[in-house]
Amino acid sequence: MLRRDLLVGSASTFAFAAPAWDAGKVAHLLPTVSDQRMLIKASFTENLLRPPSLKIAGKLHAGHQTDRHGAFWSFDVSGLAPGRPYELQIFDSAKKALCAPWTLKTFPAPEEKPQKFRLLIYTCAGGDERVIASNGKPNNLSLAQRGRLLDRAMTFAPDAVIANGDHIYWDLKQTNFPPRLDDKMAASMGKFNRVEPVVGTQNEDVLRKVGDQQIARLYGSRFRGVPVFFLQDDHDYFENDDANDRMVTYPPDHFMLQLGRATRRMYYPEFLPDAQRPSGLPGASAPDSPAGTGEAFGTLRYGNLAEVLLYDCRRYLTLAGPNAVVIPREAENWITSRLADTKVDHVVQVPSQPPAWSCGKWGDWYPDARVGTKLTLDKAKPYWQPGWLSQHDRLMKAAFDARTHIPLFISGDMHSIAEGHIFKSGKLDFRSNPVISMLPGPIGTGENWPSGSRGMRAVPPHHLEMDEKQPCLEEDGFLIVDFLPTKIVAKFFRWQRSLADSTIDTLMPYRESEIPRKG
């Protein structure tokens, strides 16, 4: 099936989507911003033989081709004014409009003092809707259901969106996932050749089929007017975080890394530079990426009200025993230095791998192994690295020590909604300033996951003493977080597949957590 046919054929799927906007030949559109720059990733329903241009502030900025056929383009515009809305429109090489105009606003300058910032955050939006689970039911929510959840979230007018990991599920070696499509569908998608490059070969065409199905068709142009921050996790490198005698999936091998990089290059923006984030962190300033951008570590800075630190916990994981790390020391030092900055009201950590809960998975921060439906320390977890837990405690302590900030983590991966207040981590005592961890909820998860596979829901590990304000709830949902000068207010949304789809349109928070600043 041609890309154009696939997209046209799916148009009726999103008949509910609002607001109305003439997307023209735009298939998908995902922008990000800083206070002075915009970076937009877009694809089109037909290949463009010559570069299109983005018109902004009366000037045309030529696009940069990010695939081998001319369907995917990025637009990078700098020198903009902070906190200003801009009208944008994309034109072809003949200056014919490829879509209707739309508006996108830059963030406030770092020294400005906004009084409110609203963030939408969720995780695990990926998955091919055609995949059937072992119980005979769809493995994921349909694209229509996921789109409906995103549209409902957007009615609360967030200033930015964080999609925290697992935008694609297409595990290749460890879990042998793709064959759960029927033979005809699997054949239509094609297979990767691991000894060929990803970019510029047939591998790229296979990647496009996977990415179009799980990313482009889901997002379309619904986020065109709000900055997005896409953080990658294990499945975004096309494997689950598993380890056994046959293979250890992470850190990613060369082919996995190229798949992850190519997915970002085509579908969603890199992290724009920030004056307080070193430009030489791992995964940053790559010669084939927009100038100065990062792929694994990012900053969402909203004036001096909020700074959100995003970090990928899979790409640079090491297996060095007591010296092992989940993120490189250079990235850890950056996080620690930002938590110590008292000029910003709120500095929040958003890792792809969640602290505070575990299902006994190999890639967790914690040594707990699963035996039946419980976690235990009596059984060694093969291939787990003690250095990971040491780094966990250092990051926890850095959050605790920053007394002018709320010590908050909001994470992805766990397919759950949760909130926990951590009083102790090993020998570290946080009672005077409990570290808070939240799980925002997944957008695309099927029923009873992860317990449907592992036999247990995620629970606190033995290393922690904590108060579960909301134990892990295995339902779909999202989190709206309001940052105010004196507090953070988190609103949790939940939805069950057993409910009618129409109930999504009236979802309201089922719980609210208000956390005051102590500083």
Of the pLDDT bands very low, low, confident and very high (cuts 50, 70, 90), residue 502 is very high
- Token reading at 132: 């059937």
* Mean pLDDT (the chain, rounded): 93
Q: In one letter, which amino acid is 214?
A: Q
Of the pLDDT bands very low, low, confident and very high (cuts 50, 70, 90), residue 134 is confident
Of the pLDDT bands very low, low, confident and very high (cuts 50, 70, 90), residue 519 is low
Q: Reading across the β-sheet that carries 102-105, which strands appear in turn?
A: 59-62, 53-56, 85-91, 102-105
CATH at 251: 3.60.21.10
Please write the tens of the pLDDT for every residue from 416-453: 999 999 999 999 999 999 999 999 999 998 776 777 77
In-domain check, residue 34: no
In-domain check, residue 6: no
* Domain region containing 426: 112-516
In-domain check, residue 152: yes
In-domain check, residue 438: yes
In-domain check, residue 298: yes
pLDDT, residue 2, reads 32
pLDDT, residue 6, reads 36
Please write the tens of the pLDDT for every residue from 317-376: 999 999 999 999 999 999 999 999 999 999 999 999 999 999 999 999 999 999 989 999
pLDDT, residue 19, reads 57
Q: How many domains does the chain contain in total?
A: 1
Name the phi and psi angles at 188, rounded to 5: -70, -25
Give the pLDDT mean for 479-506: 97
pTM of the model: 0.95
Of the pLDDT bands very low, low, confident and very high (cuts 50, 70, 90), residue 135 is confident
Q: Is 486 helix (H, G, I), strand (E, B) or coil?
A: coil
In-domain check, residue 290: yes
435-440 and 59-62 strand pairing: unpaired
pLDDT at 18 over 70: no
- Token reading at 164: 């925290």
In-domain check, residue 55: no
Please write the tens of the pLDDT for every residue from 199-215: 999 999 999 999 999 99
Higher pLDDT, 453 or 310: 310
- CA angle, corner 495, sides to 491 and 499, nearest 5? 150
In-domain check, residue 38: no
